[in-house]
Amino acid sequence: MRPRLLKTITFWLVVAGVTFLLYLQVDAKTVVDQMRRRMTVPDTPKRVVSLAPSITEIIFALGQEDRLKGVTAYSNYPPAALTLPKVGTYIRLDLERIVALNPDLCIAIKDGNPKAAADRLTELNIPVYAVNPRDIETVAQAVIEIGGLLNAEEKAHDLAEQMHARVQRVKNQVAKTAHRPRVFFQIGISPIVSIGTDTFINELIVLAGGQNIAAGSTAYPRFNREQVLSLAPEVIIISSMTRGAAFEQIKAEWQSWPKIPAVQNQRIDIVDSDLFDRPTPRLVEALELLVQLIHPEIFGNSQ
C-alpha cells in the first residue's frame, strides 16, 4: 500500500475514533466563547490541545497542565511545556497531528490561529474554544474563562484578582510622578519596527507612566534612524525575537548617537520579548519591570 494512502486511511480512522469518543461523552456543557460561538464541550476535559504559547502558559498557571496533550511550537514557558508533543506553529497548525492526539478540547486564540484550521477541527467534531484578549483586562477574563472550561474556577479568579491588584499597585506608584518620559520600544531590527496604539505593549507603557512616541493608527510602525533621532526618546527599550548577540549590537548602535536623551542618560534597556508579547498573566510582570525602567526614581534608582 502506498505510504500516502496509508497515511490518509490512518488519519480518517483516528477521526472516526475521536468522533466515537465524543459521541460517548455523556457529561457535557454548552458554552459560548469570546468569538460568540456556541458549542458543546466536556464537563471535564481530559485531553486538551493548546493552539498558542499564551494558552499553554495560562493552562500551566492554572495548574491544569496534566490535561495538556499537545502544544504549539515556541511553547517554552514554563520549561515543562517544552516536553509536550508539538502540533505546528500557532499560525500553521498541523491538523493531522492534532487529530492524532485524540483531543476532547482545543483552546485557540483569535489573533494568530487561522480561522480555517479552527473550522476544520470543528467539522471533525473537535470543539475549539477561542479567546480574544486585547488588553490586560481581557487577558484576565480569558484566564477566568479557561479556568471555567478546566474546572479551575477558584484558581482562575485568584489569578485575575492578583493581576488586578498588581496593576493597581503600579497605577498608585505612577500617580506620584509628574513627568512621563518619552519611550521608544523597538521590536524589529532591520527595518526598525516599534509598536503603535492598539497593542499590549502600548498599554503597558501608558500604565507604567510613559509616553509611547510611536503611538498612532498603525499597530507596528516602521522607522528609519533619523526619524527616531528626531523623536528624541528619553528611554529606549529593545525587545526582539532575535536571540543572542544581536541585542547588544543594537544597543551599541544606539549608543553611537550621543545626542539622544536616552543615550545621554544611559536609559537603553533590553527585555525578554516573550514577557511582553504574550497575552498571559505574565504581562503584569512585564508592567512591573517597565515601571522600573521608565521611572527608576520611584525605587530609589535614579540614573
Interior angle at CA 52, CA 42 and CA 80, nearest 5? 90
Reported in sequence order, the residue ranges of 139-285 that DSSP labels E, i.e. its strands, are 182-186, 192-193, 211-212, 222-223, 235-238, 268-270
CATH number of the domain at 3-132, please? 3.40.50.1980
Backbone φ and ψ for 203, nearest 5 degrees, come out as -60, -40
The three-state secondary structure class of 282 is coil
Q: Do domains 3-132 and 177-299 have the same CATH topology?
A: yes
Strand partners, 177: none
Domain boundaries, the chain: 3-132, 177-299
Domain 177-299 has CATH 1.25.40.80: no
Per-residue pLDDT of the chain (303 residues; tens, 9 = 90+): 555 544 554 555 444 444 444 444 448 899 999 999 999 999 999 999 999 999 999 999 999 999 999 999 999 999 999 999 999 999 999 999 999 999 999 999 999 899 999 999 999 999 999 999 999 999 999 999 999 999 999 999 999 999 999 999 999 999 989 999 999 999 988 889 999 998 999 999 999 999 999 998 789 999 999 999 999 999 999 986 555 557 778 888 899 898 899 999 999 999 999 999 999 999 999 999 999 999 999 987 665
**Short-list 45, 65, 51, 49, CA closest to 110:** 51
